[in-house]
């Protein structure tokens, strides 16, 4: 994806995202290239090494979560299981709202936009 889109999605500044992508690139986890439709824009792609690293982290986090859940009383595990669908919806809503807010900020929306209030 474009570097600017990545910054928006992560709700981070473009300079901070550029620095992070530079470090990830030096580690071989991502690659950068000129966007095919606009050579001035930068497209960031995950490498095979990056995908492998990400997969290992996900597995490690899943195992840690399983161990933590195993340490809970059975009723607490049941309550967590019942809450998972609602928590998933909440996470998607937070991500959607954050992305919309970031897009609004970068598209020149301001106080004169009737859909936004002054902050």
Q: Give the domain ranges of the chain.
A: 1-46, 48-96
Q: In whole angstroms, what separates CA 38 from the centre of its chain?
A: 24
pTM metric for this prediction = 0.64
Q: What phi and psi, each to the nearest 5 degrees, are found at residue 100? A: -65, -40
Q: Collapsing DSSP states into helix, strand and coil, what is residue 71?
A: coil
Residue pointed to by tokens 């470090």: 23
The tokens describing 103, both together, are: 């897009």
Evaluate whether the domain defined by 1-46 bears CATH number 1.10.10.10: yes
Q: Which positions ≥6 away from 28 have C-beta within 8 Å? A: 47, 49, 50
pLDDT by residue for the chain (119 residues), tens only, comes to 999 889 888 888 989 999 999 999 999 999 999 988 888 888 999 999 999 999 999 999 999 999 999 999 999 999 999 999 999 999 889 878 776 776 665 555 443 434 433 32
């Amino acid at each position: 994806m474009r570097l600017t889109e990545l910054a928006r999605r992560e709700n981070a500044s473009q300079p901070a995202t550029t620095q992070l992508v530079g470090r990830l690139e030096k580690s071989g986890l991502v690659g950068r290239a000129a966007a095919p439709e606009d050579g001035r824009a930068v497209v960031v792609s995950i490498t095979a090494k990056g995908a492998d690293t990400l997969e290992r982290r996900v597995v490690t986090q899943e195992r840690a979560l399983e161990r933590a859940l195993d340490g809970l009383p059975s009723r607490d595990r049941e309550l967590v299981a019942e809450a998972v669908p609602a928590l998933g919806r909440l996470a998607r809503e937070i991500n959607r709202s954050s992305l919309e807010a970031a897009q609004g900020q970068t598209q020149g929306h301001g106080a004169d936009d009737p859909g936004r209030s002054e902050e």
